[in-house]
C-alpha cells in the first residue's frame, strides 16, 4: 500500500512526512526545497536564521527578517512543493517573524517552545491591512492533549479559528523538549500514548469548526515502520528531523553530519539549555565544561530568546549552535533525536524518502 497523502486545508503532500525545522541553520532552503520536491513538507528553521548576515550582531532583528525573506525566496525558486517555516514562540522576534513569513507566502507556520495564542490575529490583520487573502496555515507544536485543547479553545473563542493541524512532539525528539527531565523516560508521556489523546482532544474542535485538524506525530520517528505505527494510532502524518540531517542536501557543515554518523547510544545526553528547557544533544567537551561550571564569558548581542537569562547561563546558546552548524563542534554542540546512533550513512533526500516508502509498504503488507 503506498503512502497516504497528508492534507492540511487545501495543501496536499503526497507523502505524509514533514521535515522538522532544525535550527540554528540546519534546515534552510536547501534541505526544505529538496524535501518538498520529494512530496513531503519542507521546513525552514527561523531561529537565528540571519546568522550569516553581515550586520547580525549590530542589527539582529532586521538581519533575521531579511534572511527569512531570502530563504523563502530561494526555496520557491527550487520547488513548487510545500514550504513551511518553524518559528519558536520563545523568540523575541516571534511576532515580526510570523508577519514576515505570512507576507512572503510561507505555506505553513509551525510554532512551538511556548503557546502561540495570538498567531491567528496576525494572519487576520495582515489580510485586512493588505486587502488581500493570505493562505498560510497555522500549526502549533504541542506535547500534550491539554496544550492542544488550550490553544484550540483560545483560537476558537478569540478569532473563530482552529489550528490547521497540530504537531505532537514526544520526549524522544531532538533539541529543546516540552517535558520535564524526569518525564522523558516515563511511559505515561510516550508518543504512542500522546497521539490517540490529541486525536481525541481535537475531535470536538473539528465538529465545531467543520474543519479537519490533522495530527502529526513527532519525536523519535525513524523508519517507514514507525510511520505505519503512528498512522494506525490516528496520526495523519509524521515529522522527522534526525534522519534529514544525514542527507547531502542538509544545510549543515559536513562535520556536523559526520558527528551523527559517529554517534553511539551513550553519546546522547540531556542538557539544561539556557532557553530554560531540557534539550537532547550529543555530549562533548563543550557540554561537559558547561556542566562543570566553567563559564564561557559572552556579551549578549542577539537577544534571540525571551526566556534566556544571560546573567545565569554559562554560554550563549545562539553562538554555540551557530558554531556547531559551521562544523566547529569544539565551540558548540549538536542537537539530535534519540535514534541518532542508528544513522550510518549520508544519503540524498530522494534516497531517504524512497526508502521510507519501501519500509512503510513492507510494514503494511
pLDDT tens digits, one per residue of 91-128: 778 889 999 999 999 999 999 888 898 899 999 999 99
- 336 part of a folded domain: no
Positive or negative CA dihedral for 45, 136, 228, 31? negative
> Is 139 found in the same domain as 125?
yes
- 352 part of a folded domain: yes
State yes or no: pLDDT of 358 exceeds 90. Answer: yes
Residue 290's pLDDT band (cuts 50, 70, 90): confident
Number of domains comprising the chain? 2
What local confidence, expressed as pLDDT, does residue 302 receive?
53
State yes or no: pLDDT of 1 exceeds 80. Answer: no
Residue 312's pLDDT band (cuts 50, 70, 90): low
- 3 part of a folded domain: no
- 6 part of a folded domain: no
> Is 354 found in the same domain as 321?
no
Residue 310's pLDDT band (cuts 50, 70, 90): low
> Is 259 found in the same domain as 233?
no
Question: Measuring CA to CA, which residue among 190, 81, 98 is closest to residue 144?
Answer: 190
Coil, strand or helix at 146: helix
Question: Measuring CA to CA, which residue among 320, 316, 318, 314 is closest to residue 332?
Answer: 320
What local confidence, expressed as pLDDT, does residue 305 receive?
60
Instruction: Using the CB atoms, write b or e for 218-231: b if 16+ within 10 Å.
Output: bbbbbbbebbbbbb
Percent of the chain with pLDDT over 70: 95
> Is 66 found in the same domain as 135?
yes
Q: Do 123 and 138 form a contact (C-beta atoms < 8 A)?
A: yes
Tell me the average pLDDT of the chain: 92
> Is 141 found in the same domain as 29?
yes
User: What is the per-residue pLDDT across 24-45, written as a single tens digit (0 to 9) for each?
Assistant: 899 999 999 999 999 999 999 9
- 338 part of a folded domain: no
> Domain containing 102: what range?
14-253+345-364
Distance set, CA 38 to CA 18, 94, 163, 349 (Å): 11, 29, 25, 8
What local confidence, expressed as pLDDT, does residue 90 receive?
78
What local confidence, expressed as pLDDT, does residue 301 receive?
53
Q: What CA–CA distance (Å, rounded) separates 74 from 79?
A: 9
> Is 183 found in the same domain as 54?
yes
User: What is the per-residue pLDDT across 45-57, written as a single tens digit (0 to 9) for each?
Assistant: 998 898 888 888 7
- 295 part of a folded domain: yes
What CATH number is associated with residue 25?
Answer: 3.20.20.70
The DSSP H or E segment spanning 280 is: strand 278-282
- 300 part of a folded domain: yes
User: What is the per-residue pLDDT across 201-249, written as a single tens digit (0 to 9) for each?
Assistant: 999 999 999 999 999 999 999 999 999 999 999 999 999 999 999 999 9
pTM: 0.94
Coil, strand or helix at 49: coil
- 58 part of a folded domain: yes
> Is 158 found in the same domain as 58?
yes
State yes or no: pLDDT of 172 exceeds 90. Answer: yes
C-beta atoms surrounding 297 within 10 Å: 7
State yes or no: pLDDT of 86 exceeds 70. Answer: yes
The mean pLDDT of 1-23, rounded to a whole number, is 95
Coil, strand or helix at 25: coil
Q: What CA–CA distance (Å, rounded) separates 224 from 351?
A: 13
What local confidence, expressed as pLDDT, does residue 93 receive?
84
> Is 278 found in the same domain as 141?
no
Question: What are the two backbone dihedrals, phi and then psi, of residue 341, each rounded to the nearest 5 degrees?
Answer: -65, -15
> Is 271 found in the same domain as 248?
no
State yes or no: pLDDT of 315 exceeds 80. Answer: no
> Is 322 found in the same domain as 214?
no
- Kindly calculate the radius of gyration of the chain based on its CA atoms and give it in whole angstroms: 19
> Is 356 found in the same domain as 292?
no
Q: In a 10 Å sphere around its CB, with 0-12 CB exposed, 13-18 middle and 19+ buried, how is residue 1 labelled? A: exposed
Q: What CA–CA distance (Å, rounded) separates 315 from 298?
A: 7
> Is 326 found in the same domain as 180?
no
Q: What CA–CA distance (Å, rounded) separates 13 from 42?
A: 10
Amino acid at each position: 500500500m503506498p503512502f497516504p497523502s497528508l492534507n492540511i486545508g487545501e495543501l496536499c503532500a503526497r507523502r505524509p512526512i514533514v521535515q522538522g525545522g532544525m535550527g540554528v541553520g540546519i534546515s534552510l532552503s536547501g534541505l526544505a526545497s529538496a524535501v518538498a520536491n520529494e512530496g513531503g513538507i519542507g521546513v525552514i528553521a527561523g531561529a537565528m536564521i540571519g546568522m550569516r548576515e553581515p550586520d547580525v550582531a549590530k542589527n539582529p532583528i532586521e538581519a533575521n527578517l531579511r534572511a527569512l525573506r531570502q530563504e523563502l525566496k530561494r526555496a520557491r525558486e527550487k520547488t513548487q512543493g510545500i514550504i513551511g517555516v518553524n518559528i519558536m514562540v520563545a523568540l523575541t522576534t516571534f511576532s515580526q517573524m510570523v508577519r514576515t513569513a505570512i507576507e512572503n507566502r510561507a505555506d505553513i507556520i509551525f510554532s512551538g517552545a511556548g503557546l502561540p495564542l495570538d498567531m491567528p490575529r496576525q494572519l487576520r490583520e495582515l489580510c485586512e491591512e493588505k486587502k488581500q487573502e493570505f493562505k498560510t496555515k497555522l500549526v502549533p507544536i504541542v506535547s500534550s492533549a491539554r496544550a492542544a485543547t488550550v490553544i484550540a479553545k483560545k483560537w476558537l473563542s478569540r478569532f473563530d479559528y482552529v489550528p490547521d493541524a497540530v504537531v505532537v512532539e514526544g520526549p524522544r525528539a531532538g533539541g529543546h523538549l516540552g517535558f520535564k527531565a524526569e518525564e522523558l523516560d516515563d511511559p505515561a508521556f510516550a508518543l504512542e500514548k500522546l497521539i490517540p489523546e490529541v486525536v481525541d482532544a481535537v475531535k470536538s474542535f473539528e465538529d465545531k469548526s467543520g474543519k479537519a485538524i490533522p495530527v502529526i506525530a513527532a519525536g523519535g520517528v525513524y523508519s517507514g515502520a514507525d510511520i505505519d505505527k503512528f498512522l494506525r494510532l490516528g496520526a495523519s502524518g509524521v515529522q522527522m528531523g534526525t534522519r534529514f540531517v544525514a542527507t547531502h542536501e542538509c544545510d549543515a557543515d559536513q562535520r556536523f553530519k559526520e558527528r551523527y554518523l559517529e554517534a553511539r547510544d551513550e553519546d546522547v545526553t540531556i542538557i539544561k539549555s539556557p532557553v530554560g528547557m531540557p534539550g537532547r544533544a550529543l555530549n562533548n567537551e563543550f557540554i561537559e565544561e558547561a556542566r562543570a561550571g566553567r563559564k564561557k564569558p559572552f556579551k549578549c548581542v542577539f537577544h534571540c530568546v525571551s526566556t534566556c537569562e544571560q546573567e545565569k547561563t554559562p554560554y550563549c546558546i545562539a553562538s554555540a549552535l551557530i558554531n556547531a552548524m559551521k562544523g566547529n563542534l569544539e565551540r558548540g554542540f549538536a542537537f539530535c533525536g534519540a535514534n541518532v546512533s542508528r544513522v550510518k550513512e549520508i544519503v540524498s533526500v530522494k534516497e531517504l524518502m524512497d526508502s521510507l516508502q519501501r519500509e512503510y509498504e513492507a510494514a503494511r503488507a
